[in-house]
Structure 1
Amino acid sequence: MNKRELMKIKMKKKLKVKGNHVIFSLVFLVLGYIIAFSYHVTKSEGENTAITGKQWDRDLELRNQLVDLEKKNLTLQKELHEKQEQVREIENELSQEAQVYFNLAEDAEKLRMYLGKIDVKGQGVEVTLSDGAYNPDEENINNYIVHEQHVFKVINELYISGASAIAINGQRLTHNSYILCNGPVIEIDGYQHPAPFVISAIGDAEVLSSALNLTGGVKDSLVNENIQFTLEEKAEVIMEPLLQAS
C-alpha cells in the first residue's frame, strides 16, 4: 500500500471521528435544551402553584369575611326589625293617648257647653210669648198676662222634644234654674225680665216646631188662655254663657 492510500485511509478515519463528534454534540445540545426546558417548565409550574395557593388563601379569607359580614348584617336586620316594632308600639300608644286626650277635650267641651261656660250655637226655634190684647170687659187682668206656668209649658215641651239648650230673653237656663212670676215680670235665677218673653231653643228645628204645633198641644193651650204665641224656626241660634247671680 502506497503513501497516498494510507493518507486517504487516515483522512477517512479523521472525517469519521469528526462526524461522530458532530452527532454527539448535536445530541448533547438537544438533550441540554430538553433538560433546560423541563427545568424551566417545572420551575414555572411550581411558581404558579405557589401563586394559586396564595390566591386560594386570600379567597378563603375574603369568603370568611363575607360570611361574617352577612351574619352581622342579619343580626343588624333583626335589631332593626325589633326597633321598628318598638317604634310602632310607641306610635300606637301615642295615637291611643292622643285619641284619649282628644276624647277628654271633647268631653270637657261638652261639659262646658252643658254647664253654660261657653257660647253654643245650632239650629233651633224661637218662641215669643206676649201678653194678650187688653179687653175692658175682662175684670181680672191676670187672665191675659203671661205667667211662669205659661213659660214652663213651652220649656218642658222643648226639653221633651230634644232641645239641648234653652234661653229666655237671652239668659241661659241650667238644670236647676228657677222661674218666678213677680207682677208684670218674671224672675229667672235672680234676674228679672219683662214681657214679651222670647224663648230660644237649640235642637232639631223641625221636631221642636212640630211638637209645639200639635193639635191640642202647648200652642193651642196658650192661645186659649189669651196668650199671644209666635213660633219661628231658626237656621242658627246662638246662646251666650250663663250669667252668675250676685
Structure 2
Amino acid sequence: MSLRTSDRRKRNNRISYALVFLVLGFIFSFSYRTLGPGSETQQLRSGIDSKEEGFREELIEQKERNKQLTDEITSKQKAIAEVEQTLSDTEENHDSLVKEARSLRLLLGVVPASGQGVRVELADGDYDPAKQNPNEYIVHESQVLMVVNELKIAGAQALSINGQRLNANSSIKCTGPVITIDGQTYPAPFVVEAIGDSDALHSSLTLKGGVMDSLLLDNIEMKIEKQKEIIMPALRDDIQG
C-alpha cells in the first residue's frame, strides 16, 4: 500500500469520527435541553403538577366549606322546626283554652246558646185519684234530675227546663205537682232541652235499661225528639243572682 493511500484513509477516518461525535453531541445537547432539569418539557410538567396540586387543595377546601354550610343549614332547619313546634303548641293551647272558656260560659249560662240537640217532654201519667196514689204517677224532681244529669254526661253544652236556662249550680225542687227551678215555679209537663250532638244525646236517653225505660216503669210519660236547632237565651241577671 502506498503512503498516499494510507494518509487518505486516515483522513477519511478522522472525518467520519468527527461527524459521529458531532451528531452525538447534537443528540446529547438536544436531549439535555428537552429532558434536563431546566428543559421546557420538565418545566411544563412541573407547571401541570403544580396546577393539579392547586386544584386538589381547592377541592379539599370546597368540600370542607360545603360540609360547614350543610351543618349550618341543618342547624338552622332544626331551629326553625323548634320555633314552628313552639308556635303550634302555643296555638293549640290557645285554641284549647278558648274552647274550654266557651264551654264554661255555656255551662254557666252567661252567654246565649244555639245549635242542634234534643227536646225531652216529661208528663204525669194517667191515673184514677180515687184508686191510685198520685205520687206514683206525677213527675218528681229526682226524675227530672235523672234526665238532666244523663244529658250532661252525654255532652250537653247547655240545658233549659220550660225555657229557663240552667247553670252549673241550678237548684231543682219538687212541690206537689210543680217544680221550682232557681226560685221559679213551673207546672207539668216539663220540657227539658239540651244543646249538643243530637245523636249522642238521644242514644244516651234511649239505651236499653236506661233513663227512658226507668221513667216508663215509674208511669211517667216521656217523649224525645231530635232538634236541628235549639236557641237558648242567657240567664237573666235576677236569676243568676
Give the structure-2-normalised TM-score: 0.67
2:96 corresponds to: 103
CA–CA distance in structure 1, aligned partners of residues 168 and 87 of structure 2: 37
1:86 aligned onto 2:79:
yes
2:201 corresponds to: 204
Supply the AA of the counterpart residue of 1:159: V
CA–CA distance in structure 1, aligned partners of residues 186 and 162 of structure 2: 7
Residues 195/157 of structure 1: CA separation in 2 closer, same or farther (3 Å cut): closer
The share of aligned pairs that are identical, in percent, is 23
**Pairs within 5 Å for 1:2-151:** 12-46=2-36, 47=39, 48-116=41-109, 117-129=111-123, 150=139
For residues 160-191 of structure 1, the C-alpha deviation after alignment (integer angstroms, 9 at most, x for no partner) is 3343343234442223446799xxx9886798
CA–CA distance in structure 2, aligned partners of residues 213 and 160 of structure 1: 16
CA–CA distance in structure 2, aligned partners of residues 216 and 130 of structure 1: 11
User: Residue 147 of structure 2 contacts residue 205 of structure 2 at CA under 8 Å; is this kept in 1?
Assistant: yes
Deviation at 1:118, TM superposition (A): 4.5
1:6 corresponds to: none
Aligned-residue CA RMSD (Å): 4.1
User: Residue 121 of structure 2 contacts residue 192 of structure 2 at CA under 8 Å; is this kept in 1?
Assistant: yes
Supply the AA of the counterpart residue of 1:69: Q
Three-state SS of the structure 2 residue aligned to 1:161 is helix
Q: Which runs of 5 or more structure 1 residues have no equivalent in the other structure?
A: 1-8, 144-148, 224-228
CA–CA distance in structure 1, aligned partners of residues 215 and 98 of structure 2: 43
Q: Which runs of 5 or more structure 2 residues have no equivalent in the other structure?
A: none
Aligned length: 218
Three-state SS of the structure 2 residue aligned to 1:242 is coil
Moved over 6 A (4+): 130-133, 178-181, 185-195
Give the structure-1-normalised TM-score: 0.66
